[in-house]
Structure 1
Amino acid sequence: MALVDYSSSDEEAPPQVPAKRQKTSHGDASPSASTLPPLPAAFHNLYASTVRVSTSDDPTLHQGRKRVNPHKAGSWPSHLYIEWHPTTTQHALLSKLLAALQPVLSVPLESFLTSDLGAPQPLHVSLSRPVVLSTAQKDGFLAQLVGRVGSCGVNPFDLAPRGLAWHRTSESGRSFLVLRVGSANANASPASKSTSETSTTPTPTCTRLEDGDGDGDFGAATKQRQRHNPELSKVLRHCNTLVEEYEQPPLYAFKDDDGDDAFHISIAWSFAEPTPEVRERTEDVFSRAGMRDEVLSICVPVDGIKAKIGNVVTHIPLPVRGKRGNDE
């Protein structure tokens, strides 16, 4: 017997009662998307991972990409990061930037902004390399991470883009188009201004820390050494210490917080190496009227970090003490 009995097509259907159209406060007949409440933050954790369709490394399932850490039974690929869900306006702005870049670059771009189905995707700032934990380690690692983040002394804070750059990684064999990010804490010490990476239209909710160099790439000496990322660097030190205790490699190693400008948000990638011509064309597009200022005025709020262990994502909030920024 069927679980559900459906009426046949020749039976008379019951009369349908028309649903009432809900009015909005402005008298509209139907609510707009902007009036709908946002999804709770915990919802994103439940659907942060794609379904594993193969335990073997099959690049054809992942746009030609290869796993940094091949799957092994009893091993749990893990990653610590800060997640950012761009607003509709921010997503449209970054999409506009990629759309302007694609026709003038000689390399294909794969966007991180949307999924294969066209749905907006969250972006992230890495706080660890891809590390591997054993089944016996994973629960203890997570418990220690929760305790250390909770006592790190860093309050929720804001980040702001400081420039656009290309970054090549030997591990993945890919080139990443990234937004370098720095602390947007209004109380941070400002650096010498650079017209090439200074926003002229700061948002009222995110006062950005000026950049000290305008080269748009990693590893270059700044004109005036400063702490670009006091909050991120402090959280990273706690993360690095913990992963090293589990015999895993740290992410970045800074000396006295000098030149801590490697933090970034990847927005697109390519297998091709970024040639000087590609870098120059990227900078030309980014410098077009309004494009740079709009992107550099983006505000990225940070209220915690996420630990992805296997396919389980855990949000670990930063301690809240009545203000945003470093508690030092």
Structure 2
Amino acid sequence: MALVDYSSSSESEDGEEGAQSTAAKRQKTSHDASSPDASSPLPPLPAAFHNLYASTVRVSTADDPALHQGRKRVNPHKAGSWPSHLYIEWHPTPSQHALLSNLLAALRPALPEVLPTSFLTSDLGAPQPLHVSLSRPVVLGTAHKDEFLERLVARVAGCGVGPFDLAPRGLEWHRTSESGRSFLVLRVGSADAVSASALAAPRGIGDGKGREKRQGGSTPTDAPATGMAQTAAKQRHNPELSNLLRRCNALVEEFGQPPLYAFRDGKDGDDAFHISVAWSFAEPTSEVRQCTERVFSRAGVRDEILAMRIPVDGVKAKIGNVVTHIPLPARGKRGREE
């Protein structure tokens, strides 16, 4: 703020011309001091700030769904136990946030029996980060939590995966028996792999079983392809995330915890990574899936969302209410080995 510029006695003796000159100086001083700050955006918050305020305040140690929009704890609170979660955090840009918000706004009147509840904003309307899980919700004992974090830091440091980008691959509803909820999720893949797989087939909404349907038909994208499209279809969707997941799964199993995406048929979960954008208690019926596909396929919505990029520069470990950011090892080029 500019200091008040009082006129001197000599200026007052100069008459009307002196008064006008002084007023002009005051206006110029005020304009010069305030204009740059008024027109420039506020500087972004440092990344560490989000770690400090990533958890909500615990209002009860008992499992009271009334305090959480009817949701139930996957792991009930117990003294001496530390609910923990490993994940990748994504803070959508304002334009990305607007795209996803517009998608949900279009879905709500189209799905009155579902009414998806957004993960994009808090109860106060503030933007919230989204995440890609690298573990189930697990529970660590007090005696083990520090050792767990130390081992995790070492595993990530030696993973050989540098910063990379993810991209949405499709939209689908996913039901979990543990929570009794349905989740509207964006399935994601490595941006390089997604660009290559685009040669094989356009991406649409999934059938809830890890498969996608072609736009305008019901043929799954795992149908036979030829030439470059067949080669692209065989590429792994998530080489970086799969690497990190294997290390996280091995670590949680060492501490007696269940792994994530451990399939009996030998699959390693390469195609299962996703970002939840909304949830509902309603069952995702075939009619719900079809209606969601119609909204998602509207001109502009699908293409703009699938064109988004999600930067990944580290793994988050939330142990109790403490969040630790573990950076990926630096490399010369984003998402590629040197």
TM-score under structure 1 length normalisation: 0.83
Contact 2:84/2:318, CA 8 A, preserved across alignment: yes
Q: 2:329 is matched with which residue: 303, 319, 325?
A: 319
Q: 2:295 is matched with which residue: 268, 285, 305?
A: 285
Identity rate, percent: 72
Deviation at 1:23, TM superposition (A): 4.7
2:123 aligns to what SS in structure 1? coil
Distance (whole Å) between structure 2 residues aligned to residue 188 and residue 278 of structure 1: 29
Equivalence map 1:59-98=2 (5 Å): 59-98=65-104
Task: For residues 70-122 of structure 1, give each alpha carbon's deviation from its aligned partner in whole angstroms, at most 9, with x where no partner exists.
Answer: 00000000000000000011001100000000000021211000000000000
Q: 1:303 is matched with which residue: 313, 317, 323?
A: 313
Say if 1:241 and 1:71 are closer, same or farther in 2 by CA, change over 3 A. same
Distance (whole Å) between structure 2 residues aligned to residue 181 and residue 46 of structure 1: 27
Matched, 1:251 2:260: yes
Deviation at 1:326, TM superposition (A): 4.3
Say if 1:263 and 1:62 are closer, same or farther in 2 by CA, change over 3 A. same
Match of 2:9 in 1: none
| CA RMSD between the two structures | 2.5
Distance (whole Å) between structure 2 residues aligned to residue 196 and residue 148 of structure 1: 34
Distance (whole Å) between structure 2 residues aligned to residue 120 and residue 190 of structure 1: 31
Match of 2:272 in 1: 262
Q: 1:219 is matched with which residue: 202, 210, 216?
A: 210
Q: 1:140 is matched with which residue: 121, 144, 147?
A: 147
One-letter identity of the residue aligned with 2:114: V
Deviation at 1:216, TM superposition (A): 4.9
Which structure has more helix as a fraction of its residues?
2
Distance (whole Å) between structure 1 residues aligned to residue 240 and residue 38 of structure 2: 40
Deviation at 1:193, TM superposition (A): 2.3
Task: For residues 229-284 of structure 1, give each alpha carbon's deviation from its aligned partner in whole angstroms, at most 9, with x where no partner exists.
Answer: 00000000000000000010000136787762110000000001101000000000
Deviation at 1:218, TM superposition (A): 3.2
Equivalence map 1:106-117=2 (5 Å): 106-117=113-124
TM-score under structure 2 length normalisation: 0.81
Deviation at 1:215, TM superposition (A): 3.9
How many equivalent residue pairs?
294
One-letter identity of the residue aligned with 2:239: P
Equivalence map 1:1-328=2 (5 Å): 23=32, 28=35, 30-32=37-39, 35-105=41-111, 106-185=113-192, 190=197, 192-197=199-204, 215-220=206-211, 222-223=222-223, 224-253=233-262, 260-327=270-337
Contact 1:81/1:305, CA 8 A, preserved across alignment: yes
2:50 aligns to what SS in structure 1? helix
Unaligned runs of 5+ in 1: 1-15, 198-213
2:110 aligns to what SS in structure 1? coil
Unaligned runs of 5+ in 2: 6-25, 212-219, 224-232
Contact 2:165/2:310, CA 8 A, preserved across alignment: yes
Deviation at 1:36, TM superposition (A): 1.8
Distance (whole Å) between structure 1 residues aligned to residue 162 and residue 334 of structure 2: 6
Structure of greater Rg:
2
Higher mean C-alpha deviation, range 123-132 or range 215-224: 215-224
